[in-house]
């Protein structure tokens, strides 16, 4: 390095997001929900505090990330850790907090109740399932991390089941996600108990899919003579659409 040459430290990801991405999103008539992840409680809280005074409507706290300080476990697999980090985030956040739950647990109801006990305003689920791919030509792992997140239509039945279980275990709203690619898929989640739905993987092959899903839900409600979408929320566990099942 030549004498007197300054070393410029790259801006953090959150600083870039606040400077570049938030102004772009604010051009549109939409709510801004920021997904927050980290490897320690401190990392989560740093981001939450950084966003406290920004024009952000809600925070979605992704607790499926490895907790390095606790031996590499995920926050989202330990109910005590879920409750603890939820309380910590709520103490710092100025926006409503959604806790995004991991499906890699034996009982999603315990995770949901822990987040609710910690003060969460809502839950979102499911995150990706843990999967693995082997490169048979090389005889080794296809992913550098060995495992990765499985998303898309393959996980939808698992997601619907977990949304049903979680929504019947807590009183706070549940946002359903995991393999939604059509209005029919979204309707399943609503009927299982979700108050809202989120579309992820399907956007990669159809950027207009969310609009199509919303239109499809509206057409379904019209065909059934239902004026308010809330009438179908949780109906699968409450006698069906017509109270006869």
26, two tokens = 């604010």
From 37, 65, 208, 235, the catalytic residue:
65
Q: Are 81 and 75 a contacting pair, CB within 8 Å? A: yes
Beta partners for residue 55, in sequence order: none
190, two tokens = 């609503």
Task: List all residues 6 or more positions away from 44 whose beta carbon is below 8 Å from its beta carbon.
Answer: 36, 37, 38, 61, 85, 88, 89
Q: Are 61 and 44 a contacting pair, CB within 8 Å? A: yes
65 belongs to the catalytic site: yes
Give one word for 213, left, alpha or beta, with left for phi > 0 and alpha for psi -120 to 50.
alpha
Residues involved in catalysis? 65
């Amino acid at each position: 390095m030549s004498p007197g040459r300054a070393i410029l430290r790259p801006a953090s990801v959150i600083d870039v997001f606040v400077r570049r991405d938030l102004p772009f999103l604010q051009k549109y008539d939409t709510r801004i929900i920021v997904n927050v992840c980290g490897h320690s409680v401190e990392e989560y809280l740093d981001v939450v505090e950084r966003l406290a005074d920004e024009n952000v409507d809600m925070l979605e706290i992704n607790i499926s990330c490895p907790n390095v300080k606790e031996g590499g476990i995920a926050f989202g697999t330990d109910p005590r850790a879920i409750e603890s980090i939820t309380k910590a985030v709520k103490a710092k956040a100025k926006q409503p907090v959604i806790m995004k739950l991991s499906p890699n647990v034996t009982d999603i109801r315990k995770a949901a109740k822990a987040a609710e006990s910690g003060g969460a305003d809502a839950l979102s689920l499911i995150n990706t399932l843990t999967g693995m791919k082997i490169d048979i030509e090389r005889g080794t792992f296809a992913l550098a991390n060995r495992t990765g997140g499985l998303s898309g239509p393959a996980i939808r039945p698992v997601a619907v089941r977990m949304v049903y279980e979680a929504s019947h275990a807590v009183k706070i709203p549940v946002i359903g996600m995991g393999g939604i690619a059509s209005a029919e898929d979204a309707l399943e989640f609503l009927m299982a108990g979700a108050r809202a739905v989120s579309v992820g993987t399907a956007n990669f092959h159809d950027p207009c899919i969310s609009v199509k899903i919303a239109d499809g839900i509206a057409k379904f409600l019209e065909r059934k003579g239902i004026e308010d979408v809330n009438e179908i929320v949780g109906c699968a566990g409450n006698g069906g659409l017509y109270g006869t099942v």
